[in-house]
């Protein structure tokens, strides 16, 4: 069963994928994938997901970071401006690059 705004609703038995109801109503704004910009330490981030995935990219201030030797498709600043599945996809790309370091 899935929970929806204080009520339970049944999922059809043949449904194999989960339906995340919080993304289909006003509670979706609480998702890390939601485009809910915020400021942290004086910098603007487009979403929590963008912030999280940005951490996988090398910080140009730290030259000794082994990640700075690899070629990444985006910069930290670019990823900080992303939200949702776009941010997740570029974070997944960064993980693949880091596997080869």
* The pair of three-digit structure tokens given for residue 22, joined into one six-digit string: 């919080």
Residue-wise over 58-70: b if at least 16 C-beta within 10 A, else e? beeeeeeeeeeee
Model pLDDT for residues 19-63, shown as the tens digit of each residue: 555 556 677 777 888 899 999 999 999 999 999 999 999 999 998
How far, in Å, CA of 88 to CA of 71, rounded?
18
pTM across the whole model: 0.72
Query: Is the pLDDT assigned to residue 12 strictly greater than 90?
Result: no
The domains of the chain are located at: 1-30, 32-101
Intra-chain end-to-end CA distance of the chain, in Å:
43
């Amino acid at each position: 069963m899935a929970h929806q705004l204080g009520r339970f609703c049944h999922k059809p038995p043949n449904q194999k994928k989960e339906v995340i109801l919080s993304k289909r109503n006003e509670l979706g704004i609480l998702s890390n994938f939601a485009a809910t910009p915020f400021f942290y330490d004086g910098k603007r981030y487009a979403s929590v997901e963008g912030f999280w995935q940005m951490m996988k990219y090398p910080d140009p201030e730290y030259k000794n970071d082994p990640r700075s030797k690899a070629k990444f498709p985006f910069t930290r600043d670019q990823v900080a401006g992303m939200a949702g599945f776009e941010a997740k996809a570029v974070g997944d790309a960064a993980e693949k690059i880091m596997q080869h370091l």
